[in-house]
């Protein structure tokens, strides 16, 4: 495991063999390699700096365990710290009692938000949780059609009021409908923009204020790398998120955005999207992601 990092660390540790404490210069050299590996995995620069500083504190003064190669011991420390920062275990979706659980989806256009909305519904159906999808993106008529089409495909009802209705009102009525029909979970798809846009933010804030969701999930495109950090900060500061879905993890990204999102919001990644199909959604596991990030 972590062959790439192990190889990089090889020279950093050559001088260490036979010593019983990990020395400062070994650690500095090894940390430079960790830093490089994390940046290559697209972790945000500031997040990398903070992470490396924490690992440094822990690594210095660690006793070398007899029979364990110091480079392996160091890699284990980095790995454990990554898993810890990303939350140790999978955190499942909230389930409200009484129903319905209300989930608000947020994110930029093109990240996979509408697809993730349908993927979540299918996931919940497999857990015998009924869902209602709500289409509030009235700015792009194609967005409503897209959700309706996906709903048909997975046999989940979609609530919409056309493109002339107020998104806040659509969301409110959607939740009412779910409550009236005894539906377990209602998922509100919202409008995205190509970039952060104040109108989009204030509309999201109004929807959130009105429907008081149990989950506000930020959909983040894993391919955006470094930018995932500022995106998360803006959404979390202005709307307040309870978790994230990292999409397009089937691409060649190492997934460093996961670390950035978690560090900046303090909220867990709950799922990853691994393809365009509606069943391409997996629960997020910090240990698997740590392995992928370290390469
Ligand atoms: P939205 O504008 O955020 O609602 O984005 P869409 O749900 O319309 O998705 C934008 C594009 O990304 C579509 O072509 C999707 O098929 C694609 N997409 C969404 N999620 C994934 C994913 O996990 N992997 C891949 N490869 N493509 C995805």
Looking at every residue in the chain, the average pLDDT score rounds to 91
Buried b / exposed e along 176-207 (16+ C-beta atoms within 10 A): ebbeeeebbbbbbbbbbeeeeeeebbebbeeb
Q: Is the pLDDT of residue 1 over 60?
A: no
Given this model, what pLDDT does residue 11 score?
65
Is 250 labelled as part of a ligand binding site? yes
Check residues 114 and 253 and name the one with the higher pLDDT: 114
Is 110 labelled as part of a ligand binding site? yes
Which atom of ligand 1 has the smallest separation from the CA of 219?
A: 3
Which of 149, 188, 273, 276 is the best mutation target for the ligand 1 pocket, counting ligand atoms within 8 Å of the beta carbon and taking the most? 276
**What is the Cα–Cα distance from 263 to 286, expressed in whole angstroms?**
13
Query: Is residue 135 very low, low, confident or very high in pLDDT (cuts 50, 70, 90)?
Result: very high
CA-based end-to-end distance of the chain: 8
Q: Whose CA is nearest to atom 6 of ligand 1?
A: 112
Task: Report the SS3 class of residue 164.
Answer: coil
Q: Is the pLDDT of residue 201 over 70?
A: yes
C-alpha dist (Å) from residue 137 to 27, 86, 159: 51, 31, 12
Check residues 156 and 11 and name the one with the higher pLDDT: 156
Residue 192, ligand 1, Cβ within 6 A: yes
Tens-place pLDDT, residues 38-77: 998 899 999 999 999 999 988 887 776 777 777 778 888 9
Cβ within 8 Å of residue 97, ≥6 positions away: none
Is 20 labelled as part of a ligand binding site? no
Angle between helices 198-211 and 227-238 (to 10 degrees): 50
Which atom of ligand 1 has the smallest separation from the CA of 115?
A: 7
Residue 282, ligand 1, Cβ within 6 A: no
Q: Is the pLDDT of residue 78 over 70?
A: yes
Query: Is residue 210 very low, low, confident or very high in pLDDT (cuts 50, 70, 90)?
Result: very high
Residue 115, ligand 1, Cβ within 6 A: yes
For residue 248, give the nearest of 122, 107, 149, 86 by alpha carbon: 107
ipTM: 0.99
Tens-place pLDDT, residues 17-32: 556 666 777 788 889 8
Is 28 labelled as part of a ligand binding site? no
Which of 110, 112, 204 is the best mutation target for the ligand 1 pocket, counting ligand atoms within 8 Å of the beta carbon and taking the most? 112
273 token code pair: 């999207």
- Prior bond of 161 cis (ω within 30°): no
């Amino acid at each position: 495991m972590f062959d790439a990092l192990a190889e990089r660390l090889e020279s950093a540790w050559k001088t260490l063999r036979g010593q019983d404490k990990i020395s400062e210069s070994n650690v500095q050299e090894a940390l430079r390699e960790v830093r490089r590996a994390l940046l290559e995995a697209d972790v945000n620069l500031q997040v990398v700096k903070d992470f490396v500083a924490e690992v440094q504190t822990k690594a210095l003064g660690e006793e070398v365990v007899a029979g364990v190669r110091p480079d392996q011991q160091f890699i284990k420390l980095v790995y454990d710290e990554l898993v810890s920062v990303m939350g140790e275990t999978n955190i499942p979706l909230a389930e409200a009692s009484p129903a319905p659980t209300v989930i608000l989806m947020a994110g930029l256009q093109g990240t996979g938000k509408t697809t993730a909305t349908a993927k979540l519904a299918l996931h919940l159906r497999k857990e015998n949780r009924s869902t209602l999808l709500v289409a509030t993106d009235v700015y792009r008529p194609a967005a409503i059609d897209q959700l309706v089409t996906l709903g048909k495909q997975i046999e989940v009802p979609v609530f919409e009021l056309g493109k002339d209705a107020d998104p806040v009102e659509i969301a409110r009525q959607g939740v009412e409908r779910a409550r009236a029909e005894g539906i377990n979970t209602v998922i509100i798809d919202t409008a995205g923009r190509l970039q952060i846009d104040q109108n989009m933010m204030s509309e999201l804030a109004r929807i959130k204020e009105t429907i008081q969701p149990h989950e506000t999930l930020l959909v983040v495109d894993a391919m955006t790398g470094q930018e995932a950090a500022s995106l998360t900060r803006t959404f979390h500061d202005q709307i307040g998120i309870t978790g994230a879905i990292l999409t397009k993890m089937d691409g060649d990204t190492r997934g460093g955005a996961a670390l950035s999102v978690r560090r900046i919001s303090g909220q867990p990644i709950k799922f990853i999207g691994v393809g365009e199909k509606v069943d391409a959604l997996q629960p997020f596991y910090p240990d698997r992601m740590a392995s992928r990030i370290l390469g």
